[in-house]
Amino acid sequence: MPGFANAKETWNARFARDDYIFGRQPNAFVEAHAHRVAPGKRVLCVADGEGRNSVWLAERGMVVTAFDFAGNALVKARALAAERGVVVQLAEADILGYDWTAARYDAVFAVFIQFLSPEERPAVFAGMKDAVVTGGLFFLEGYRPEQIALGTGGPGKASHMYTREWLLQEFAGWDIEHLASYEAELDEGAAHKGPSAVIDLVARKRG
C-alpha cells in the first residue's frame, strides 16, 4: 500500500465523516489551469478522493475518469457528481496496481498524491506519463520539503515532497508549460488549511 502500512484503512477512516475533508470545490491550481484542456477531451484524475476535481472538470464538459482506493470517498464523489448533474467514470483502484495502459488521456491530473514513497514513485510516475497521449498534458501539484516546517498538510516526510530539480529531471523530454514554486494560503476543507509550500507543473508530452 502507498507510503505507509494499512493505507487503505487509514484513508477510509479519514473519509468516514459527513463533510468533505478536502472540500467540495476544485483545487485552485486545477481551476486556474484547466482552460488548457478543451471540452470533450478525455481526462484522468489520479487518486481523486471525494471527487472535488473530477466533478468540476466534468462540469466544464470534459470526459472524466477518476479513481481512488478508498471506497467511502467514492461514495461521496458519486453523490457530488449527482448533485452537480454530471457523469464521472469512477473506479475503486490502488494507484500501485492501476492499469495505466488500459486507456490514453488528453490530460492527467495528479494533485497532492504525496502518500507515495520515493521507492513507489518511479513506477507510478512512469505509468501516469504513459497514460498521456502524444501532445497531451500532465498537471501536477504537490508540497515542497519546506512544507514540513509549516505543518499544515501532507505526510510529514520530506522524502515524499517535490523539488523543482526533481520535476525538471522527471519531465525531461516534455515541454514545460508552467512550473511555479511558491507559498500559498490553502483553504481546501479541514485537511489542507493554512500557509503551504507548494509547487505546480504543467507539462506537454512531445511527439
> pLDDT for 29-77, tens place per residue?
999 999 999 999 999 999 999 999 999 999 999 999 999 988 888 999 9
193: domain CATH number is 3.40.50.150
Q: Is residue 57 part of a domain?
A: yes
**Contact status, residue 108 vs residue 140, Cβ threshold 8 Å:** no
Query: Ramachandran region of residue 61, left (φ > 0), alpha (ψ -120 to 50) or beta?
Result: left
Q: Kindly report the pTM of this predicted structure.
A: 0.91
What local confidence, expressed as pLDDT, does residue 86 receive?
Answer: 98
The values of phi and psi at residue 132, to 5°, are -90, 130
Query: Measuring CA to CA, how many Å separate 56 from each of 4, 26, 43, 155, 159?
Result: 30, 6, 12, 26, 31
Residue 45 belongs to some domain of the structure? yes
> CB–CB of 57/39 below 8 Å?
no
User: Which run of H or of E encompasses 83?
Assistant: helix 71-84
In the chain, DSSP assigns E strands to: 42-46, 63-68, 89-92, 105-111, 132-143, 174-188, 192-205
State how many domains the chain has.
1
**Structural domain boundaries enclosing 161:** 7-205
| 201: its cell numbers | 507543473
